[in-house]
Amino acid sequence: MITYKFRLYPSQKQEIVLNDTLEACRYVYNHMVRNDYETRNDMNYALTELKEQKSWLYDYNSKMLQMVSTQVAGARKALKELRKKGYDAGKLKFRKRDEHNTCIFNQSGFDIDAPNNTLYLDRIGRIKVRIHRSIVGTIKQIAVKRRAGRRWYACITTDNNRRMIGSILKPIDFRKSVGIDVGIKNYAYDSDGNATPNPENLRKLLKPLVRANRKMSRRVYGSKNYNKARRWYQIVHERIANRRRDFLHKLSTHYANKYDVIFLERLRLNNMVKNHHLAMSIMDASWSAFKQMVQYKARVMMQLEPVNTTMDCSRCGKKVPKSLAVRMHRCDGCGLAIDRDYNASLNILKKGLQLLELEVPMEHREFTPVEILMGSRKQEANALRHW
Ligand SMILES: [Zn+2]
């Protein structure tokens, strides 16, 4: 499954219809919440009954209204997750006018005309859309989203058979393995020695976002000024999200195309994020998004438990403890002196290959992980010379 996000450019008239459609969905959503139906079946049965009384609901695509039950179920699940994490999540709330921003067309009720850049939606019409990437696979679902009250997007989900077929036919080439360390200084550092710095534009945008957030929290909740500040916050937030997504798509595609096997570390930032500010939680979200993208784009992606990857010497295995401020790994055992993130990525690769040795059946291999481990020792020796 891949989701593409395209900007929509509805006419003024279409925008009125879109807003009106979201209102209808919100009406259904709140009806489901009020009556606290348990299953999606119950909800959709209730919807049929509701339509008998409120015949204006017939003006909307019926499958789309049914998908509201999926949204209710999703919101409930999110609450449950929060509760599991120990938050006092409370009950599912009614949605206010600007809180219901998505309607979903599943399987039917839409049609995309890519050459002409239009998206047809049942009962809404033909909307201008900017299709900036080609769509691969069969379209399963289109979610229409309103952002910051005035921007519209279509999130198009396709199944993605092509990649799967490719990975069955071709054996995995373990020489094309890479370990990637993600961090704050360098967004990614890979075991071939390539560093991708954190994009400046994100850091630059974070400041206005923090400022907007502070402004909002100082105002009286629900007041006119609060809503103004909130709108501004949403706009900045969306701008960051778009640039970040762009950056992550490029980076993950690069790795998925270049390598057959990609190792990443499971993130260890629970405690980091909880007592941290906005900036950190955004980094966290972006690392998870990166992983998800790598996962669906790459042939093999494995997540490893983070055990001493920054501490261990990638060449001799000696423990070299270092604080976050120390940027270089210097081993007095074997003399290796390389960037700390590079050292970590080499450890990730090594651990990953050791794990895979156990898990991938011989017939699916072109080269065995052990052969590669030998090769990577040579690489490290070369790397040392550079430093
Ligand atoms: Zn060493």
pLDDT digits (tens, 9 = 90+) for 3-12: 888 999 999 9
319 and 234 inside one domain:
yes
**Total domain count, the chain:** 2
Does the pLDDT of residue 383 top 50, yes or no?
Answer: no
What residues make up the domain containing 253? 167-386
178 and 118 inside one domain:
no
Rg of the chain in Å (alpha carbons): 25
Question: 330: CA distance to ligand 1 center in Å?
Answer: 8
What pLDDT is attached to residue 318? 92
Question: Dihedrals φ, ψ of 269, to 5°?
Answer: -120, 15
173 and 145 inside one domain:
no
Question: 329: CA distance to ligand 1 center in Å?
Answer: 9
30 and 150 inside one domain:
yes
Does the pLDDT of residue 159 top 70, yes or no?
Answer: yes
* pTM of the full structure: 0.60
Does the pLDDT of residue 387 top 60, yes or no?
Answer: no
118 and 216 inside one domain:
no
Question: 317: CA distance to ligand 1 center in Å?
Answer: 6
Question: Dihedrals φ, ψ of 29, to 5°?
Answer: -55, -50
Higher pLDDT, 380 or 313: 313
The model's confidence at residue 29, banded by pLDDT at 50, 70 and 90, is very high
What pLDDT is attached to residue 62? 94
Does the pLDDT of residue 73 top 70, yes or no?
Answer: yes
Q: Among candidates 23, 93, 29, which has minimal Cα distance to 67?
A: 29
Do residues 120 and 141 lie in contact, with contact meaning Cβ atoms separated by under 8 Å?
Answer: no
Question: 252: CA distance to ligand 1 center in Å?
Answer: 31
Does the pLDDT of residue 291 top 70, yes or no?
Answer: yes
What number is the average pLDDT over the span 50-71? Answer: 95
Question: 333: CA distance to ligand 1 center in Å?
Answer: 5
Question: 337: CA distance to ligand 1 center in Å?
Answer: 8
Question: 259: CA distance to ligand 1 center in Å?
Answer: 27
306 and 344 inside one domain:
yes
Question: 191: CA distance to ligand 1 center in Å?
Answer: 16
Of 6-10, 53-57, 232-236, 380-384, the one with minimum mean pLDDT is: 380-384
Question: 268: CA distance to ligand 1 center in Å?
Answer: 24
Question: 346: CA distance to ligand 1 center in Å?
Answer: 12
Of 114-128, 159-173, 191-205, the one with minimum mean pLDDT is: 159-173
Does the pLDDT of residue 161 top 60, yes or no?
Answer: no
Within 8 A by CB and 6+ apart from 145, the residues are: 101, 102, 152, 153, 154, 155
Name the CA dihedral angle for 56, 61, 65, 67, rounded to a multiple of 10 degrees: 180
CA 62 to chain centre: 30
Question: 312: CA distance to ligand 1 center in Å?
Answer: 8
Question: 375: CA distance to ligand 1 center in Å?
Answer: 17
Question: 226: CA distance to ligand 1 center in Å?
Answer: 56
Question: 322: CA distance to ligand 1 center in Å?
Answer: 14
136 and 208 inside one domain:
no
365 and 271 inside one domain:
yes
34 and 89 inside one domain:
yes
Question: 264: CA distance to ligand 1 center in Å?
Answer: 22
Domain boundary among 158, 192, 215: 158
What pLDDT is attached to residue 345? 95
26 and 114 inside one domain:
yes
199 and 143 inside one domain:
no
pLDDT digits (tens, 9 = 90+) for 87-140: 777 888 999 988 999 999 999 999 999 889 999 999 999 999 998 877 878 899
Which residues have beta carbons under 5 A from ligand 1 (an ion)?
313, 315-316, 318, 331, 333-334, 336
Distances (CA, A) of 113 to 12, 105, 110, 140, 186: 21, 16, 10, 15, 40
Sheet holding 125-130, edge to edge: 102-106, 139-147, 151-158, 2-9, 125-130, 118-121, 110-113
Domain boundary among 136, 158, 180: 158
Question: 174: CA distance to ligand 1 center in Å?
Answer: 25
Question: 332: CA distance to ligand 1 center in Å?
Answer: 7
What number is the average pLDDT over the span 309-322? Answer: 91
Question: 325: CA distance to ligand 1 center in Å?
Answer: 20
Share of the chain above pLDDT 90, in %: 45
What pLDDT is attached to residue 165? 47
Do residues 355 and 346 lie in contact, with contact meaning Cβ atoms separated by under 8 Å?
Answer: no
What number is the average pLDDT over the span 329-350? Answer: 93
As a whole number of angstroms, the distance between CA 293 and CA 68 comes to 27
The model's confidence at residue 386, banded by pLDDT at 50, 70 and 90, is very low
134 and 223 inside one domain:
no
Distances (CA, A) of 153 to 18, 160, 218, 346: 11, 21, 31, 40
